[in-house]
Structure 1
Amino acid sequence: MAAVTDLTRDLAAIPSHDDETDAGDFIEAWLREETDADVTRDGVGNVIARRNTNPDANESVALVGHHDVVPPDESQIANGEYVVEERDGRLYGRGAADMKGAVAAAMCAFRDTDPTVELVFASFVGEEIGGEGARHAIDEGFSPDYAIVGEGTTGYSAPGTTDVAVAHKGRRASTITAHGTAAHASEPEAGENAVYTACKAVEMVCEIDAPSTDVFGERVRGSVVVTEIEGGSAWNVIPESCSITVDERTIPGERAPLAAVEDSGRVEWTVDQDLPPMACDDEAFAEAVRAAAADAQEGEPELVTKPHATDAGWLAEAGVTCVICGPAEQGEAHTKDESVSLAVLDRCYETYRGAVESIGR
């Protein structure tokens, strides 16, 4: 569909890694010109639009994306502008896959769909830095009954197939800090070595069995990994402090018992970031989206899980029933060769339309 391709190209050309304002301006102006929706721009820059808001529409479905991107590679920017190229049926450029292509497909589907439910479009800011836009919108009352989040699900069950994710992991980043007493290294017994204490904490982390769970028959497994260790001030000083960074991939409903490493006065544990996991709580909704995805492609999509945290985690935590379905393929996002298939963009447009139109009928 030329409209989706053109819109993706226009969006992907707008720099939005430091400041999402211009991309938000473009989305807002397009929605006001192309639709009769109630379009709003909130205090942080989220663009939210609503159609079919009459009282008979007793359910609401949202098509959700984000228009911020990670910083571009040097090859993806020229004269302060993003470089966007089309070749071999793909569109190349920062944000093409993550996730301006999905936003464009959702915008066109939002315009073209004839819903019986209230239809919501939302493009958030700050997804790449912890979901700041989604969290603000939720705090301000954003709470559709259902949401299709357009993060990438292509190529999970089979190459080229666009699947429907019913769960994803979250991420809890934390720091374990061991405290000791400094002394000259020639008299180690005069101090307490914080590195040794930290190593005992690392052993405890290694012994933790990360939890796992099932979502509609799909297994989601968490993980707990020590990723950094830092301590000491000089080669001849017993270290009085040592810190350990832990990357934990969380699952819906359970967390690893990291607090067990704490030891009053000697070891403390602090959480630095906690991005929530997501699990769909309505199998009928997930199957409706999967059926729409099946109608839009030759392959047979499956219900799958994603390893990465998305804004769907914040929405699910707030009580929104979510699935994820989008054009980006595994390994495409955040790369210097980031690209998106134009054919899969059209597929996602058809999937979004089909899913929305099937709900409430």
Structure 2
Amino acid sequence: METPDPVALAGSLITLDTRGGGERAAADLLAGLLDDGGFTVRTEPDPADPARANLVARRGDGRPPVTLTGHLDTVPADPAGWSFDPHAGDVVDGRLRGRGSTDMKAGVAALVVAALRSDPATPLQLVFTFGEETGGDGARLLTGLEPSPLLVVAEPTANRVLHGHKGVLWLRLVQHGVGAHGSRPELGDNALVALGRVAAALHDHTWPVSAT
């Protein structure tokens, strides 16, 4: 199998309209390439919309795989606000043009080509999701992934390699109070007030940001 050129593959992905939907077309394109490259591939359509799908591809000998991941959707692109077709996918003056050329169809193409060019003995797991720009819709539906010692996310970070990535942590906070009659509020302990103080403290907290 001839490995595709990463820029050409990124251009092909850009020509596909995946602005908050339609990611199945991109998943199918990549699935064919990875299947031809010796990966075991499965697409996972969105039960609510078959035009949307995740893609999971694996290769290996039972050892924990390195996981390569990215998303197939893009944010909106109104052609009226563009000086060229936002799905052009062409190269002009050395620059790849179109919605997703940065975030993140170029990254997805780079991961796929790197995987196809890598040593076949290297255990790999590729995970491409739909709906990342709208709250991780596709990621919520993923099941049966192999535990991985290393996750590589090809998001654009000013073309720098960062040892970490923005994520989401959901916590449930429970506060117990003491009820009291409205005429004697000093005898009670208002749980809502306590939770409000926690919310304000979290809002005002300065979180560390890594610059490396």
Tell me if TM exceeds 0.5.
yes
What does 1:105-116 align with in structure 2 at a 5 Å threshold?
105-114=110-119, 116=121
Instruction: Indicate the structure with greater strand content.
Output: 1
Of 50, 54, 60, the residue aligned with 1:46 is: 54
Partner Cα distance (1:76, 1:126) in 2: 26
Q: Which runs of 4+ in 1 moved over 6 A?
A: none
Matched, 1:148 2:152: yes
For the structure 1 residues 163 and 148, does the alpha-carbon distance in structure 2 shift closer, same or farther, using more than 3 Å as the test?
A: same
| Structure 1 residue aligned with 2:205 | 210
Aligned-pair CA distance for 1:117: 4.0
Please give the alpha-carbon distance, in whole angstroms, between the structure 2 residues aligned to 1:169 and 1:38.
Answer: 29
Q: 1:135 to 1:142 in 2, by over 3 A?
A: farther
Equivalent residue letter for 2:15: A
Structure 2 Cα separation of the partners of residues 83 and 146 of structure 1: 34
The sequence identity of aligned pairs, in percent, is 30
Deviations 1:245-284 (A, max 9, x none): xxxxxxxxxxxxxxxxxxxxxxxxxxxxxxxxxxxxxxxx
CA offset digits 1:207-254 (Å, max 9, x no partner):
9531324xxxxx45xxxxxxxxxxxxxxxxxxxxxxxxxxxxxxxxxx
Q: Residue 9 and residue 76 in structure 1: after superposition, are their counterparts in 2 closer, same or farther (change >3 A)?
A: farther
The match for 2:6 among 1, 4, 7 is 4
Residues 82 and 93, structure 1, Cα contact 8 Å, conserved in 2 = yes
Q: Report the counterpart of residue 176 of structure 2 in structure 1.
A: none
Alignment of 1:204-283 (within 5 A): 205=200, 209-213=204-208, 219-220=209-210
Q: Which runs of 5+ in 2 are unaligned?
A: 47-52, 170-195
For 1:82, what is the secondary structure of its paired residue? coil
Whether the aligned pair in 2 keeps the contact of 1:59 and 1:117 (CA below 8 Å) is no
Contact 1:125 1:133 (C-alpha < 8 Å) held by counterparts:
yes
Whole-angstrom distance in 2 between the partners of 1:170 and 1:123: 16
Q: What does residue 50 of structure 2 align with?
A: none
Partner SS, residue 84 of structure 1: coil
Cα shift at 1:115: 5.6
Structure 1: distance between partners of 2:95 and 2:11: 11
- Return the offset for 1:60: 1.3
Q: Give the Cα separation in 2 of the matches to 1:40 and 1:76.
A: 38
Determine helix, strand or coil for the equivalent of 1:164: coil
Write the distance in 2 (CA, Å) between the matches of 1:208 and 1:9.
Answer: 41
Match of 2:28 in 1: 25
Distance across 2 between alignment mates of 1:106 and 1:93? 19
Mapped pair 1:164 → 2:177: no
User: How many angstroms apart in 1 are the aligned matches of 2:83 and 2:28?
Assistant: 22
Q: How many pairs does the alignment contain?
A: 175
Structure 2: distance between partners of 1:42 and 1:89? 35
CA-based RMSD: 3.1
Which amino acid in the other structure matches residue 162 of structure 2?
A
The counterpart of 2:125, out of the listed 99, 120, 144, is 120
In structure 2, what is the Cα distance between the partners aligned to 1:168 and 1:31?
A: 26
SS for the counterpart of 1:102 is: helix
| Cα pair 1:50 1:120 within 8 Å, conserved | yes
Taking structure 1 as reference, are residues 62 and 27 closer, same or farther at Cα in structure 2, changes over 3 Å only?
Answer: same
Tell me the distance in 1 between the aligned counterparts of 2:73 and 2:203: 36
- Shift of residue 140, structure 1, vs aligned partner: 3.7
For the residues of structure 2 that align with 1:91 and 1:24, how far apart are their CA atoms? Answer: 21
The aligned runs of 1:278-357 (5 Å cut-off) are: 304=212
User: AA paired with 1:36?
Assistant: G
Question: Shift of residue 130 of structure 1?
Answer: 0.9
For residues 35 and 120 of structure 2, the distance between their equivalents in structure 1, rounded to whole angstroms, comes to: 18
Secondary structure of the residue aligned to 1:132 is coil
User: Match for residue 76 of structure 2?
Assistant: 71
TM-score (norm 1): 0.43
**What letter matches 2:34 in structure 1?**
L
Q: Whole-Å Cα distance in 2 between the matches of residues 70 and 76 of structure 1?
A: 17
What is the distance in 1 between the residues matched to 2:83 and 2:153? 26
In 2: Cα distance, 1:208 partner to 1:132 partner: 26
